[in-house]
Amino acid sequence: MSKTLTELAQQLNETNKRVQLIYAFNGTGKTRLSREFTQLIARQPLEDERVVAEDAARHKILYYNAYTEDLFVWDNGAEPKLKIQPNTFTDWILNEQGQDQNIINYFQHFSNGKLTPRFNPEYAIKNDNDEEIKVKAFTEVTFSHQRGNDEHSDNIKCSKGEESHFIWSIFYTLIDLVIGIANVPEPSDRESNQFDHLKYIYIDDPVSSLDENHLIELAVGLATLIKSSFYSSVSGEGIKFIISTHSAIFYNVLYNELGLKSGLILSQFDDGTYQLEEKKGDSNKSFSYHLHIKNNIKKAIEQRSVQRYHFALLRNLYEKTANFLGYEKWSDLLPGDKSAYAKRIMNFYPHNTLSNEEIAEPTEPEKEMVKYLLDNLNNYGYLTQKVKNDAL
């Protein structure tokens, strides 16, 4: 049944689960859904009279998505600087909690260890009861390459992928601290009470620019952090997590590490409505098998060693993709301009029985078709593993 994004946001809010994991293709609307969900939560009343209405959203939900990056803007002067727009959370984590070095360490672990961010504080004079007080605030970050012996290059502008990863490093450090604070049972014993009303942490595609190994490591770390967070399925107390991604690897690792029993796939229809379809059990775990088949075919293409059995593997991959995405026939995924020819050879090689056909190797055009058909599946999102870093 199709719904609006507002209705899907309400559906997510009404679901009593610790973690809701969503898979969606790029451009399907997962970031818009995260935005709609945030606005829904922000509109809900907060009983604590100490919290003014305009601050209610940040007390009830923490979210990471494309809009999070709007807090950071480049100043492309002679020495490029990443400016931090005024906001409560970066001030809290940098100024009050002093987490700048932990952020840097996390960032460097998953990226170029020699690329070094520096948080540059600014000082302002604040009058308090006719007394001048020097106040520190972090308003910008510069990046340079370490050269050894404490020397570093001039300030540089890092890539878009590195910038996204840096911003995620700040958010990850933030939620790590928040979970530690929220896990203290008695609010009066917590070092901060600004997260006492936190209900959700919503994460949309944290770092798509990482290589496969680092993306797996990040997913395992995030799953470990989530599992450490207190939550009672009986009372509903504790922090709930909603995570959306277009990465099959990230989805698959989180699904298995968290021990989930079902996931969700977001679809958009031509009329502008949407659907969140629940996927249970092995239909989620099949991601790993899909990737295994894909890598097998890709290796054969790179080594120019495509054989007739690769057509059977390719058809198998199309069948499983169609089944997961809800297509009636695997041939519905074929590109329209070459669908008839592609369907013929994908039916012919796996099923022919004549002796003279058994020993025949694929022709060069047929081998090229294997590559073409494998690349075609990237249009369906969940098999796409590599994301261009600087072109994001």
Query: What is the pLDDT of the chain when averaged over all its residues?
Result: 81
Q: Encode pLDDT of 245-273 as tens digits.
A: 988 888 888 998 999 999 998 988 878 89
Q: Classify each residue of 224-259 as buried b or exposed e, where b means 16 or more C-beta atoms within 10 Å of its C-beta.
A: ebbeebebeeeeeebbbbbbbbbbbbbbbbbbbbbe
Residues 42 and 57: beta-carbon distance below 8 Å: yes
Stretch 146-163: mean pLDDT, rounded?
78
Of 1-5, 134-138, 225-229, 378-382, minimum mean pLDDT range: 378-382
The DSSP element (H or E) to which 154 belongs, if any, is none
Residues of the chain with CATH 3.40.50: 5-74+91-112+160-280
What CATH class is the domain 5-74+91-112+160-280? alpha beta
Residues 110 and 218: beta-carbon distance below 8 Å: yes
Stretch 145-171: mean pLDDT, rounded?
83
Residue 258 Cα to chain centre, angstroms: 16
Q: Encode pLDDT of 27-75 as tens digits.
A: 789 999 999 999 999 887 655 444 344 455 567 999 998 888 889 999 9
Stretch 80-98: mean pLDDT, rounded?
89
- CA gap 214, 31 in Å, rounded: 23
Q: pLDDT band at 377, cuts 50/70/90?
A: confident
Q: Encode pLDDT of 363-372 as tens digits.
A: 888 888 888 8
- CA gap 161, 156 in Å, rounded: 14
pTM, full prediction: 0.73
